[in-house]
Amino acid sequence: MTLTKTEEQLMKLLWDHGKSTVSNLIERLPDPKPPHSTISSVVRILEKKGFVDHETYGRTHAYFPLVSKSEYSKSTLSKMIKSYFDGSVENMVSFLVKEKDIDTKDLKKWLDQLESK
């Protein structure tokens, strides 16, 4: 399942800072700060999607991630490879080399490091 830009921004805060209230999340967002009701709605959507859960302290909810950053990254990358590179990692790497996003020397070095592990 994919996240909107705002959902992803809030998930990054939860991954980086752990359990947080809506007020904590708003404090960490850049200015201009969105309304409390907006962030509260987005967090509840994340909860419905299964990305977060909460603990209740009186009238306050502290939200925490159920999906790890690495799980989400893996899923997102996999979808991108399927959608844009015909499911081929080789096609993706070839594209990145052609676009000069990856230097072939760096790629060889990374591959050598992976093989030595």
List Cα–Cα distances, 49 to 34, 44, 52, 103, in angstroms: 21, 9, 8, 38
Token duo for residue 107: 């790629």
Band of the pLDDT at 64, cuts 50, 70, 90? very high
- The answer, yes or no, to whether residue 58 has pLDDT greater than 80, is yes
Domains parsed from the chain with CATH numbers: 5-65 (1.10.10.10), 69-116 (no CATH)
d(CA 108, CA 80): 23
Give residue 112's pLDDT: 83
Residue pLDDT, tens place only, 2-38: 899 999 999 999 999 999 999 999 999 999 999 999 9
- Identify the CA nearest to 14 among candidates 61, 57, 75: 61
d(CA 38, CA 15): 20
CB 54, CB 65: distance < 8 Å: no
Token duo for residue 89: 């990692």
Token duo for residue 33: 């700060």
Token duo for residue 54: 């909460």
